[in-house]
Amino acid sequence: MLLLKELPTSKSLEKFLARYPGTDVQAISDFVNLLRAGSDISIALDRMLAQHGLLQGRWWVLVLLLRQEDLTSSPSDLAEKAGVTKATMTGFIDGLEREKWVVRLPDPVDRRKFLIRLTEAGERKLDQAIPDYNRKVSALMSSLPESRRAELIASLRVLADNLDVMK
């Protein structure tokens, strides 16, 4: 993922407007600021997870498994829930299996398939990381009063519901 580290200045936006008349420079500025904030938050999460020997992809797979009543899911369900390809999920699972945080089990319904189960070692890894995650996410989110957080989430949902305009 390419991260936009330098946000456009008003001068660069004016230049953009001169070249592309009718451009809504405020919309462009707001959009790149939103992208930048998302990137910065993702980088901060990566740094926090790295302190626990985790990467975001593996983290979310472990969390998705923890959400399951029997701590088990199919690779395709995990891929769908994580929004990644099956090939990407296979890479995450391979890494988690090497760490012994998950295990592959035969699917009792279809012998051609297998299921992924969170191991006790995986649970312990989450037990080590989740309190730190909870503390740091709470600290970050507390920088906004609850009313502003609700407005932010509502605004982000509106944007997410209208992403078809980007097609």
**Are 23 and 38 spatial neighbours (Cβ–Cβ below 8 Å)?**
no
Q: Mean pLDDT, the chain, as a whole number? A: 94
115 CB-contact burial (10 Å; exposed 0-12 / middle 13-18 / buried 19+): buried
pLDDT for 47: 96
**Are 100 and 119 spatial neighbours (Cβ–Cβ below 8 Å)?**
yes
Q: How far apart are CA 58 and CA 24, in angstroms?
A: 39
Across the beta sheet with 102-106, the strand order is 72-73, 114-118, 102-106
pLDDT for 3: 67
Q: Is 102 helix (H, G, I), strand (E, B) or coil?
A: strand
pLDDT for 143: 96
This prediction's pTM: 0.85
Place of tokens 């407007």: 17
Quick: pLDDT tens for 75-113.
Answer: 999 999 999 999 999 999 999 999 999 999 998 888 889
Structural domains in the chain?
A: 55-153 (1.10.10.10)
Q: How long a stretch of residues is the chain?
A: 167
Q: How far apart are CA 7 and CA 9, in angstroms?
A: 6
Q: How far apart are CA 30 and CA 69, in angstroms?
A: 41
